[in-house]
Amino acid sequence: MRIEEMKESHLLQVAEIENKCFSHPWSLKSLESELKNNGSHFYVSVEDDKVLGYIGMNVVVDEGYIFNVAVDENARKKGIGTALINTLVTFAKKNSLAFLTLEVRQYNENAIRLYSNAGFVKVGERKNYYSEPAENAILMTKYF
């Protein structure tokens, strides 16, 4: 398994993972558009030309806003999520970002544990942020 910058050739596989993992997935067109955004940075975990997971964020001045972290359900529990998060943490440090931040479903215990283990802390909550099912978002941030 290796982590690399996402390319257009990865988009179809990333969209597949996105559709399997989220109740309101980004469209292929949205992913493609964001990939072309100079302020956005995407990375994929790849093994034998198969995308196993991806992560994306947008940088605004010295702040990093993580869009999505998703790992194919057949590739979970193998450290891919951790490797993807660590890639953004390394990027943030190299580029002198003040913090990385994200939202996570309040009952997504595995994701919350992943982010906590990477040094993210709860900084707030957004009531009824998610739908299908309705759920609050926990705001988590890692400061540098």
What is the SS3 string spanning 64-133? EEEEEEEECHHHCCCCHHHHHHHHHHHHHHHCCCCEEEEEEECCCHHHHHHHHHCCCEEEEEEEEEECCC
| pLDDT confidence of residue 128 | 93
pLDDT value of position 42: 98
- What distances in angstroms separate CA 25 from CA 17, 40, 95, 114, one per listed residue? 9, 18, 29, 21
Please compute the mean of the pLDDT values over residues 41-67 and round it to a whole number: 97
**Confidence at residue 29, expressed as pLDDT on a 0 to 100 scale:** 96
Q: Closest by alpha carbon to 139, among 125, 120, 129? A: 125
Instruction: Determine the average pLDDT of the residues in 7-22.
Output: 96
pTM of the full structure = 0.94
Tokens of 22: 């989220």
**How many whole angstroms separate alpha carbon 41 and alpha carbon 12?**
17
pLDDT digits (tens, 9 = 90+) for 112-136: 999 999 999 999 999 999 998 899 9
pLDDT of 132 reads 87
**List of long-range contacts for 108-111, beta carbons under 8 Å, 24+ apart:** 111/69, 111/81
Share of the chain above pLDDT 70, in %: 100
CA 137 vs CA 35, 108, 123: distances in Å:
25, 10, 11
Query: Average per-residue pLDDT in the chain?
Result: 96
Q: What percent of the chain has pLDDT over 90?
A: 97
- Reported as a single tens digit per residue, the pLDDT across 63-102 is 999 999 999 999 999 999 999 999 999 999 999 999 999 9
Domains, the chain, with CATH or none: 2-143 (3.40.630.30)
CA Rg, the chain, in Å? 14
